[in-house]
Every structure is written in C-alpha cells, then in structure tokens.
C-alpha cells in the first residue's frame, strides 16, 4: 500500500489523504451533530449560541484537534504509546502515556452507550420500514395513528429491555464488522461509502423539507441573536458540545492520526474536518426544524426532538414514511462511522499492549462494551432506579447511561483534553511538535498561544464548572 496518506511501510494505514479526512469527518459527524446540536442551538439562544459554539470550535477545538492528530502521526502507534514516545523523546516522564490511557477508557465507555443510542436509531429504521410497507407512499407516516401513539413509541421502546439490549448488540456487531477488517480494509471502506451517502441524504432531505414552507421560521429560530440566553451553564454546554462533536478528549483523533502518512499537512486536514463537522451541525438544524414547523409543532429539546417530534412531523409530510426511513438511515450511517472510531481506539490499545491480533482485540473490546452497554440499555427500563454513583451530587438521580455520559463528558474528556494541551504546549519538545504541525508564520504563533494559554485555561474552567455546576449557577 504505497498511496499518499499511508503510514510507515508494512503497517495498515489510510490509503490516501482523502480516506483519512473522510474517516475523521465520519468520526466527528454523529449523533452529537444530528441530535444534540440542533436541540441546544434552538432552545439556548439561537444565533448567540451558534456564534459562541463556532468560537469554541475555532479557538479551542481546532487547536486540540491538531495537537491530537500530530501526537498520533508522530507516534504511529496506539494513543498511550504515541504519548509515551513523544514524552520520552522530549525528556519527560513516560507517565504522560496515562493521559491517553484515560482517553482510551473514555472511548470505551462512550462506545458502550453510544451503541445503545445507535440501537434506538436502528429500531426507528425498522418502524419506518414496516410503516412504508403498510401505508405505502401515498401520504404521511403512521397513518391512522394519533400523535400520542406516535409519541408513545419512544418510551415504550426504551422501556423494553430485550429490544434495547438486542438493538444495542446489533449496532455493536455492525461496528465490529468494520473494525475487524482493519484500517484500509474496513474503517476506510465505511467512511468512503457511508459519509458521501450521508451527505447526499442530508442535503436532499433538507431541500425537500424546505419546500414545506417553514424555512424562514427555522432561520429565525436558529439564528435570532439572543445573547441574554447565553448563561454560564449554556456556555459550558456549548464548549462540551464542541469537544464531543470533534471527537476530542478520547484519544480518537490520536488513534486516527497514527495511520496518516508524513506527507499530509495536519493543519490543513484539521481545518477541513472541523469545518465539515460544523457545517453538518448547522445543516442538521436547517434540515430538522422546517419539517417540525411545517407540521405546526413546537420543537422539544433533548432526545424527544429526534425520537418523538420528528416522527410525528413525518406524519404530516407528503411521502412521510419514505422520508422518515431515509432520515433514520442517514442518522444510522453518521452514528456508525462514529462508533467505528470509538471502537478503534481501545482495539488499537489492546492490540499494542498485549500483542494480540486485531481480531481478538476487537472481539474483547466488543464483549466488554456489550456488558456495559447492556446495563445502559436497561437503565431506561428495568434498571431505571439503579443510580450507581447517586451518592455523589454530580450523578444524583442518574441511571447507568446518564452516569457514564456525565462521567466522560464532564470529567474524563476535559481532563484528557486539558492535559493534552499542557503536554503539547509546555512539555513536548518544540522542534518535534513543529516538525509535525504543518504551520508557519503568524498562524504558528497563534496556534502556540492557543495551545499554551487559552486551551488550558478554558479547559480548566470547563472542568471545574462541569464538576461543580453550582459555581456557575
């Protein structure tokens, strides 16, 4: 494999720069862009939230994205080993590998509950598929069903343990299928097929939805500037969302960076990845809300937007069964390319650490994620009253799924990102970093300033505010 993006000879790596960029975009674009961003942007201050989010992407996300990919490309190994190698060459403690170790653990945990949500999406594909067969193409979706019935599909699904666990396993199995086949033979194949189809579906559904007539209402909902809504907790949510959306703080971009050839300019690819991820988040808003408003519905926040409001809106839409089916297929594709990245991180680590084959490593990771995932899947049903860390205020009243989400997004991921910024900005040998980052002149100085100062300070604030939410009210 001699193409442009491939890593060192004999090792599995991306077959081209495009393959790397598509896979990294595939990792970044996921449920975060399609579910969380539109819901938060709409209800949290519209244009002010969007502007603040973009600032977070540019000033904090982008510099860390470059830092993570360059550590990986330099190390050409699993994330902890790449950190360790750079630390050793810089005369620093090998313990810096532990930072990536925490990232690997987070990736594993996020994988376990991300696949539960992926399973919910698969179930909705099934619902719309069966609806298409029964109602056909003549009108909206779920004909004859009342709003309450369609809305009720969601609680009855998440309360059904065998169904959520089964769908979780199915989604995990699909993820394994690609990780099993390796970087160029599996992960890259998923990215190069699924991501273009995803983009086409997103744009097509957005254009179709725009004909419903509620486009201007959407634009004012998403972009009206309401800075007074931009409170501390909401700003915190925006930064956290920017990080999650770019797949940072879980060693994901370090792992993907390890498969990149030396000829690739990482600064350039980081800008493309962050730009595409942000564009998809914005287009997702412009896709979802016209459908919701055209049906005369009020958008609700959180998961209800995707799993309750939208299915109801498809009821009112011409050929709603088909559009609903295509919509959830699109979401599944985005989620799958993200879960593949999440599985690759611990798989690469197990492979490196214990000298096992990719196949055995991927199976071990899958089995672990299945056990933890089953607990998350049941936490919206029979295990709803089990609050594993409920004695700690931050996790009070949270079931397994919410606990794992809080633990990773509020605690572990910001710690990993913060220490990564400190590592690249202050600890690692400057010459080594500069030989990898693809920057020069003023941009280089600016990036250094962001990594050395702004990112650590902002991330420290995020960490403290995330763990002690009462500080910011």
Positions in the binding site for ligand PFF (CB under 6 A): 27-28, 30-33, 107, 110, 244-245, 247, 250, 252, 338, 341-342
Cβ atoms of residues 410 and 418 within 8 Å: no
Distance CA 282, CA 303 (A): 18
Give backbone dihedrals phi and psi of 24, rounded to 5 degrees, phi first. Answer: -70, -40
CB atoms inside a 10 Å sphere around CB 257: 31
- Measured from the CB atom, the residue of 48 and 341 that comes closer to ligand PFF is 341
Q: Least separation, in Å, of the C-beta of 298 and ligand PFF?
A: 25
What is 40-78 written as a DSSP string?
Answer: HHHHTTHHHHHHHHHHHIIIIIHHHHHHHHHHHHHH-S-
Q: Least separation, in Å, of the C-beta of 338 and ligand PFF?
A: 4
Q: Least separation, in Å, of the C-beta of 38 and ligand PFF?
A: 12
Q: Least separation, in Å, of the C-beta of 37 and ligand PFF?
A: 8
Q: Least separation, in Å, of the C-beta of 382 and ligand PFF?
A: 27
- Measured from the CB atom, the residue of 116 and 383 that comes closer to ligand PFF is 116
Q: Least separation, in Å, of the C-beta of 409 and ligand PFF?
A: 9
Distance CA 336, CA 339 (A): 5
- Measured from the CB atom, the residue of 191 and 294 that comes closer to ligand PFF is 191
Q: Least separation, in Å, of the C-beta of 5 and ligand PFF?
A: 19
- Measured from the CB atom, the residue of 110 and 422 that comes closer to ligand PFF is 110
- Measured from the CB atom, the residue of 41 and 110 that comes closer to ligand PFF is 110
Q: Least separation, in Å, of the C-beta of 27 and ligand PFF?
A: 5
- Measured from the CB atom, the residue of 252 and 373 that comes closer to ligand PFF is 252
Cβ atoms of residues 330 and 61 within 8 Å: no
- Measured from the CB atom, the residue of 135 and 339 that comes closer to ligand PFF is 339
- Measured from the CB atom, the residue of 206 and 241 that comes closer to ligand PFF is 241
* Helices assigned H by DSSP within 136-180: 147-158, 161-180
CB atoms inside a 10 Å sphere around CB 211: 11
Q: Give CA torsion, residues 59, 62, 66, 68, to 10 deg.
A: 100
User: Which residues have CB under 8 Å from 56's CB, separation 6+?
Assistant: 238, 239, 242
- Measured from the CB atom, the residue of 77 and 317 that comes closer to ligand PFF is 77
Six-digit token string for 247: 């797949």
Distance CA 7, CA 15 (A): 9
Alpha carbon separation from 471 to 234, 235, 316 (Å, rounded): 13, 13, 44
Strand partners, 225: 46
The residue with tokens 């590592």 is 423
- Measured from the CB atom, the residue of 32 and 311 that comes closer to ligand PFF is 32
Q: Least separation, in Å, of the C-beta of 306 and ligand PFF?
A: 12
Of 236, 252, 231, residue with least CA distance to 463: 236
Q: Least separation, in Å, of the C-beta of 60 and ligand PFF?
A: 15
Q: Give CA torsion, residues 112, 364, 161, 292, to 10 deg.
A: 40
Q: Least separation, in Å, of the C-beta of 256 and ligand PFF?
A: 9
- Measured from the CB atom, the residue of 60 and 342 that comes closer to ligand PFF is 342
Distance CA 348, CA 61 (A): 24
Distance CA 323, CA 209 (A): 9
B/e letters for 448-458, b = 16+ CB within 10 Å, e = fewer, are bebbbebbbeb
Cβ atoms of residues 222 and 50 within 8 Å: yes
Q: Least separation, in Å, of the C-beta of 150 and ligand PFF?
A: 25
* Helices assigned H by DSSP within 181-294: 188-210, 215-223, 232-245, 252-257, 266-294
Distance CA 46, CA 96 (A): 40
């Amino acid at each position: 494999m001699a193409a442009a993006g491939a890593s060192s000879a004999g090792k599995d790596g991306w077959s081209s720069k495009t393959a790397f960029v598509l896979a990294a975009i595939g990792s970044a674009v996921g449920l975060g862009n399609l579910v969380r961003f539109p819901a938060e942007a709409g209800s949290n201050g519209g244009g002010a939230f969007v502007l603040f989010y973009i600032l977070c992407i540019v000033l904090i996300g982008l510099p860390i994205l470059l830092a993570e990919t360059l550590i990986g490309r330099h190390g050409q190994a699993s994330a902890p080993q790449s950190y360790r190698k750079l630390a050793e060459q810089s005369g620093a403690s090998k313990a810096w590998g532990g930072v990536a170790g925490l990232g690997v653990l987070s990736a594993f945990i996020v994988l376990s509950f991300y696949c539960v949500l992926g399973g919910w999406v698969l179930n909705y594909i099934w619902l719309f598929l069966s609806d298409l067969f029964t109602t056909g193409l003549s009108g909206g979706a779920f004909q004859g069903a009342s709003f309450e019935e369609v809305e009720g599909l969601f609680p009855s699904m998440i309360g059904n343990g065998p169904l959520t666990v089964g769908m979780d396993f199915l989604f995990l199995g699909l993820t394994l299928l690609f990780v099993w086949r390796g970087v160029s033979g599996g992960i890259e194949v998923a990215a190069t097929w699924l991501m273009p189809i995803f983009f086409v579906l997103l744009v097509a559904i957005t254009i179709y939805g725009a004909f419903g007539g509620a486009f201007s209402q959407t634009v004012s909902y998403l972009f009206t500037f309401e800075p007074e809504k931009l409170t501390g907790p909401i700003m915190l949510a925006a930064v956290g969302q920017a990080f999650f959306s770019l797949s940072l703080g879980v060693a994901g971009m370090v792992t993907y960076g390890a498969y990149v050839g030396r000829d690739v300019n990482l600064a350039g690819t980081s800008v493309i990845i962050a730009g595409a991820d942000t564009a998809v988040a914005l287009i997702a808003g412009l896709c979802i809300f016209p459908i919701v408003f055209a049906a005369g519905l009020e958008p609700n926040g959180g998961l209800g937007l995707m799993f309750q409001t939208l299915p109801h809106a498809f009821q009112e839409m011409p050929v709603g069964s088909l559009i609903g089916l295509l919509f959830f297929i699109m979401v599944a594709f985005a989620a799958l390319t993200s879960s593949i990245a999440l599985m690759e991180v611990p798989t690469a680590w197990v492979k490196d650490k214990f000298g096992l084959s990719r196949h055995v490593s991927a199976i071990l990771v899958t089995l672990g994620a299945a056990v933890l995932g089953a607990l998350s899947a049941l936490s919206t049903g029979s295990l709803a009253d089990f609050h594993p860390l409920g004695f700690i205020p931050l996790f009070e009243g949270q079931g397994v799924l919410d606990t794992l989400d809080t633990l990773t997004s509020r605690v572990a991921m910001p710690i990993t990102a913060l220490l990564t910024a400190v590592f690249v900005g202050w600890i690692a040998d400057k010459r080594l970093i500069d030989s990898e980052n693809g920057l020069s002149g003023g941009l280089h100085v600016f990036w250094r300033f962001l990594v050395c100062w702004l990112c650590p300070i902002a991330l420290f604030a995020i960490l403290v505010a995330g763990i002690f939410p009462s500080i910011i009210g």
